[in-house]
Amino acid sequence: MGAFLERYPTPASAAKLTAGRLEAWCKRRGYSGKKPGSVLIERLRAAPKAASRLSEAVVEQLVRVQVQLVQGVRTTIRELDKAIAAVIETHPYAALFATMPSIGKVSLGQVIGEIGPILERAQTCEQLIAEAGVVRVHRGGEDHPRRC
């Protein structure tokens, strides 16, 4: 989306865009192609018009600044994801939690951040279970205790 807004920051800048050119532009950027260019251009043309007294140049500048802000945030998130993944590789609790189903590096980092301090201060399995909010599971009258 950011690349599109950089190229076409205002409705006027996209006014001469055709369905074919939009479709080709999307393909060059790896768009899945689920919607043909004719549908995309129709949606673009049907978008509400801004009720603004700002000039086209001011709107363009505002859009470009917002795109830069979003791109900066996305870059920061990618860098943080890489840093988390690197730290997780050597964290002593990583192996303990890494076997959880569908856990990725960032989720693993979050789990270690939330549960790690509880592991450090727990003196017994029961204390760990209580502080983590885990409860016993009862099925058909049977008690299935958690084992540490």
Name residue 104's amino acid: G
User: What pLDDT score was predicted for residue 59?
Assistant: 87
For helices 105-121 and 125-132, give the axis angle rounded to 10 degrees.
130
Count of residues making up the chain? 148
Of residues 148 and 16, more confidently modeled:
16
Q: Where in the chain are the domains?
A: 1-90, 91-148
Q: pTM value? A: 0.60
**What are φ and ψ of residue 138, in 5° steps?**
-115, 125
Structure confidence by residue, pLDDT tens digits, 12-41: 888 889 999 998 888 888 888 788 889 999
C-beta separation of 19 from 38 below 8 A:
yes
Structure confidence by residue, pLDDT tens digits, 47-104: 887 777 888 899 899 999 999 999 999 999 999 989 988 888 888 878 877 777 777 7
pLDDT bracket for residue 142 (50, 70, 90): low
Tell me how far apart the alpha carbons of residues 140 and 78 are, in angstroms, rounded to a whole number: 47
